[in-house]
Structure 1
């Protein structure tokens, strides 16, 4: 039996209870490949749905700021809001390193209003579902409407849950950058249709070039929406928004969708009245 050489084994840090939102570099790695398609989609949306020239943008729940930096690099003025200081610190360094402008706000996405107003806003990957009650969701939509110029658009993307959805769901991703390998497992650990809440557990393993391994695990609730519930929510703010278009996570502005039971990866284009 061969004796194990412990010095050659990856050393793990004891970080199991940490939230992945406190580690922006890994959060960013997982989604960075989506950025070019999303940026192209945003500009297609601006061209199709906004009559004026779009120059000023707002991203509530900006996270690590990959979209903020990408849009700033294309010449847009950005307002970026998040309630996590680690995310904003990461974004601040990213913008500084690339000599890009940006207004960063540590705040609440249910109440913040941009001044001066913006031409468009975007929140495209389930961040909205962190608002776990109807009142918070509506307050957020109204605060975004108050942040937009008339005729401006809010690009809002989130998953809808079909009535026959299987509550047992596990997704896995892998990503690599600069010698660091990251694997992510997302698992639904609780699913309650009555209270319209599901609890997700995210586990991350990051292996650095040195061989050091970091592990993080966190759980958080998200609000559930069936397509009809999403329709009802948007109807509650129809005094300030019209649904100008519906697309999906394929980020193709030429493919129109409607609100039906087949709409699961929904991107709503809400235009300020």
Structure 2
């Protein structure tokens, strides 16, 4: 990740409030885990949104993330659960773990945080070095469709949720700008907190930049870094990819 691209993650409790219950990836990951021996590695694990449920289902994991605050939140959430998880603060582009794995995965479209060709190669090279021959690497990334890339550069409503602590209604809006030369989408997320009588009582905004990769480009990147694509899905339910896909899930083998 580039400097200043962590803003969206600098408040881990808010991240969990907005994302913790969202786990469409879990069935597919457990399917592969059931035929995997040894420790599983999750990259960019964040607050353990998937790491903890995976461990609760009998998996032994190493959760890796570069963001200290997100990892500390993961450690706090799992502290008294007795789960077989080792939390490691490392840069995923420079992994230096003491073990190799038969199964490595990354969720939450984390691949898009690696904004340059070099950083993508560094990530995949690092994964390759920690994956056993024949091992599986699974990750997802948003599909660069016209609708996805040409989002409005004006404030657009996204979704609403209720803050479980303050009970405020939170409306989320986004502003985006796509730089076609770099294939990077620059996002601003605006959170408007409303009281029970619908009055705005607070407003916060965060910025993040995400790289988009086209399918044929991804084929080349993966092949160059020692991976064979086993399957490509448009969702975590193993639906075949189409031109109308919102995201692409890659199942790769070393």
Same fold by TM (over 0.5)?
yes
Task: State how 1:172-251 maps to structure 2 within 5 Å.
Answer: 172-176=158-162, 178-179=164-165, 180-181=167-168, 183=170, 185=172, 187-205=174-192, 215-237=203-225, 240-249=226-235, 251=236
Task: State how 1:1-273 maps to structure 2 within 5 Å.
Answer: 19-35=7-23, 37-46=24-33, 53-162=36-145, 167-169=150-152, 170=156, 172-176=158-162, 178-179=164-165, 180-181=167-168, 183=170, 185=172, 187-205=174-192, 215-237=203-225, 240-249=226-235, 251-253=236-238, 255-257=239-241, 261-272=243-254
Distance in 2 of aligned mates of 1:55 and 1:152: 11
- CA deviation string 1:162-197 (max 9, x = no partner): 357551254623334644456363524321111211
- Where does structure 2 lack aligned partners over 5 or more consecutive residues? 1-5
- Helix, strand or coil: the match of 1:110? helix
- Helix, strand or coil: the match of 2:94? coil
Distance in 2 of aligned mates of 1:208 and 1:151: 54
Runs of 4+ in 1 over 6 A off after TM superposition: none
Distance in 1 of aligned mates of 2:169 and 2:230: 38
Q: What corresponds to 1:10 in structure 2? A: none
Distance in 2 of aligned mates of 1:101 and 1:138: 30
1:214 Cα shift? 5.9
- Helix, strand or coil: the match of 1:222? strand
- Helix, strand or coil: the match of 1:33? coil
1:217 Cα shift? 1.6
Larger deviation, residues 129-138 vs 58-67: 58-67
Give the alignment's Cα RMSD to 1 decimal.
2.8
8 A contact 1:20–1:204 mirrored in 2: no
Distance 1:105 1:214, change over 3 A: farther
8 A contact 2:33–2:59 mirrored in 1: no
- Tell me the TM-score normalized by structure 2: 0.83
8 A contact 2:65–2:71 mirrored in 1: yes
**Relative contact order (alpha carbons < 8 A, sep ≥ 6): 1 or 2 greater?**
1
- Helix, strand or coil: the match of 2:50? helix
- Where does structure 1 lack aligned partners over 5 or more consecutive residues? 1-17
Whichever of the two has the greater Rg, that structure is 1
